[in-house]
Structures are given as C-alpha cells and as structure tokens.
Structure 1
Amino acid sequence: MTEHTQHERILLASQSPRRAQLLEQIGVAFELLLPEEHEDAEALELALPDERPEDYVKRVTRAKLDAARARRERQGLAGVPVLAADTTVALGRRILGKPANADEARTMLRGLCGQTHRVLTAVSVACEGERVLHALSVSRVRLEGMRESDIDAYIDSGEPFGKAGAYGIQGRIAAFVAHVEGSYSGIMGLPLHETAMLLRQAHVRF
C-alpha cells in the first residue's frame, strides 16, 4: 500500500477574508499565497462573450490556481497543497461580478430583488506533483423586494463592493434573504463540505 505525505497546512490563493474565516472554522491551517506586484489578478476575472456562468467560474478558478502554482514555485514552497476558489452570482445566464461603483451595485440589487438567482463557487486544489482536484457548488438564493431607501442604505454601508452580485449573505443583506437552497458557506465564498472532501483527497490533516 502506498503511503502518502500528510500535510499540516495549505496555501490559500485568495484575498478574501471570508474564505480565510471559513477555513479556520473547520480547523485547516493555512498561509496566504497572494498575487505579487507584477500580477494582474483582476484581469483573470473578466468574463468571455456568451460564457455560461458554470464555465466562467470554473475557468477563473483554474486560472487563479495556475497563477498560484507558479507563485508557489517562485517562493520555494513546492509540494505544499494550494487552494484557489472563485464565486459568481448568476441571474439566468447573466453573470453578475463585483460592482465597480454605486450605480452598478444599485442596478444589480434592483435586478436581484424578487428573483431567485444562483450562486456558484468553484474550488480547485493543487496536490503534490501534477494532480489537481476540482469541485463546484451551486446554490439558489431568493431576495425579497428592497425599497430604494433600503438599497441606498446598503450601498452606503460599503458591503456591496468587492463581492459578486453586490452583496454578502453574511452581512446586512440577510434581512432580505427569503430563501436559501444549497451551501450557505458556498454562498459566502467557500463550500466547506466540498472543500473538506478535496483537502482529504489531497492528504491535508485538519
């Protein structure tokens, strides 16, 4: 029987404090492996014309992982598992990314109100050698109607910025979430059930 190296930590290729918090929640030890100065991390998240949300989120996650693996080698951390993830919000086939400004946030929130939308989070883990593991979590969220004053107050709070679909379910928007189907942690940005399965397959101890 082949014995596998057991890893005590991983490298988290994400700037999201929510993903760090979720890994801590299940006891995964990690170090951040963030983009270097010469890397254009935002460019990786540009959607292609007519790209389906499922294809988009998987492609972006794999691109983030590829960039992180190269970063890992440059930093002399070969062999340490790397985790990358991406979350997007989809209203039908329309991909709602991170709003660039208050007007974009307002348009997104108006469009989501009274509708059921999908939140897709892809996770990829680079193991030792060339092996890469992938998972995709798809959840559904229904937001009830928000008054214009509610939307303005939410935008003024700053929460919509830096988040796909202009909201974070763990924040003030929770008062308007009428129904959730799927993975709550996946909606936050890292589906813990799927992530734990991948990390066990990568022989990470937690």
Structure 2
Amino acid sequence: MTKIKNEQLILASASPRRKEMLSSSGIPFYIVIADIEEKPLENEGGHEYVKRNAREKALAVSEKTLSAEFILSADTIVVTHEDKILEKPQNKDHAKKMLEALSGSTHLVLSGYSLFQNKKEIVSRVIETLVTFRILSAREIDAYIKTGEPFDKAGSYGIQGRAMGFIEKIEGSYTNVMGLPLSQVLLDLKDFAGIETYTQIDD
C-alpha cells in the first residue's frame, strides 16, 4: 500500500503534459501511476475504450492508497475517419503508417477521464475534438519521426510540439488533444470535489 501525502488530489497518470496542465491551474496534487493493461476489447469502440481505461486507472490507484483523496485519471486516443483506434506507436514503421493515415484527413481525438474517491466513481466523461491535418509529404513524415517526438503520443503526434504545423483546423478543446480536456475537468473538480483553481479563489 502506498501512503499518500496530505494532498487533496491524486493524478493517476505518468503523462508530463497532464502534469503540466494541472500544475498550471494552481491545484496541488500528487502523482500515483496506474499500472493497467491498455488494450481494446473485441468490438469495443473508441468512446467505450477510453472511458473504461480511465475508470480502470482510477480504480487501480484507489486500491494502492490508504487515504480518501480524490483520484483523477485520464486516457487519450486518436480515432481515424475509418473508426480505427490509434494509440502510441510501437516503432518507426507503425508511426509512419499512422501519420500517413492522418495526412490530408480529419480525425477524432477522444479523452476519457474519471474522478474517484474511496474506490467509488464520482464522474466519468469522454470529450471529443476534431482535428484536420493538411497533406503531409513523405519527407515531412520521415523527418518528424526522426525527432523521436511521435513515440509517446497517441496517433504519433503532439499538437503542442513539432507537429503543430501539420494541423489545418481544430474543432473543440485544444487541451483535449494534449491529453486532458482541462476546462471541463476543472469544472468537475469544483462541482464534485470542491477543488478550485487559484483563478476561482476570492482575493
């Protein structure tokens, strides 16, 4: 069992981007990484998959803790217009195939997140964002892969990194594409956990 520090919130994620976004909101939290197998079930759609992953991550961390802090977990995937789930690439060839599939088309980014306390689910949501890529040349794809950036990112790209120039249009939450629909998460933390950002605290 892990003894958690006296914080209000636990972030069940190893993602540096989620950590950075939550930190920027002025909310104190402590990280406990969830160790679960992330693999779609047979005939499982993207919405169901990310919501299940988020729930399982939160529950896994709940089982490792001794305290009653709120636990926030999240999972993000990319879904092509052909309804194919794209997670993190396994190797260079896998990353290349993903980027070729995204080139010149619109895809869906899905982030599921859950808020748990005392091993019980308080709220879970799936937020979606439409992202359109311009047509990418083979040279651009190869050069981007050589940077190493695609390998820890769903869909093989990071919207806040070197791939930002690939994006023609976004419909929906920008931070959702980074891995956490921050605006909606902050509303739920306030409404369901009484945890507020520094921007909401009176002078």
- Which 5+ residue runs of structure 2 have no aligned equivalent? 1-5, 198-203
Equivalent residue, structure 2, for 1:69: 62
Detail structure 1 runs of 4+ shifted over 4 Å in the superposition.
none
Equivalent residue, structure 2, for 1:80: 69
Q: 1:110 aligns with which of 64, 79, 100?
A: 100
- Which 5+ residue runs of structure 1 have no aligned equivalent? 1-6
Give the deviation of 1:129 after TM superposition: 6.9
Q: 1:56 aligns with which of 44, 49, 52?
A: 49
Q: Is the 8 A contact 1:134 1:198 kept in 2?
A: no
Residue 170 of structure 1 aligns to a residue whose secondary structure is coil
Equivalent residue, structure 1, for 2:201: none
Number of residue-to-residue matches in the alignment: 190
Q: Which moved more, 1:195-204 or 1:174-183?
A: 195-204
- TM, length-normalised to structure 1: 0.88
Give the deviation of 1:98 after TM superposition: 0.7
- 1:204 lines up with 2:203 in the alignment: no
Q: Deviations over 1:34-71 (max 9, x none)?
A: 24xxx4x3x2x101122111111111111111111111
Give the deviation of 1:89 after TM superposition: 0.3
Equivalent residue, structure 2, for 1:15: 14
Sequence identity of aligned pairs in percent?
38
Q: Which moved more, 1:146-155 or 1:7-16?
A: 7-16
- TM, length-normalised to structure 2: 0.89
When the two chains are superposed, the root-mean-square deviation of aligned CA atoms in Å is: 1.5
Give the deviation of 1:9 after TM superposition: 2.9
5 Å matches for 1:1-206?
A: 9-35=8-34, 39=35, 41=36, 43=37, 45-72=38-65, 76=66, 78-92=67-81, 93-127=83-117, 130-200=120-190, 201-206=192-197
Q: Deviations over 1:121-158 (max 9, x none)?
A: 01111135735211221000001111111111110111
In 2, Cα distance between the equivalents of 1:52 and 1:131? 21
Q: Is the 8 A contact 2:62 2:118 kept in 1?
A: no
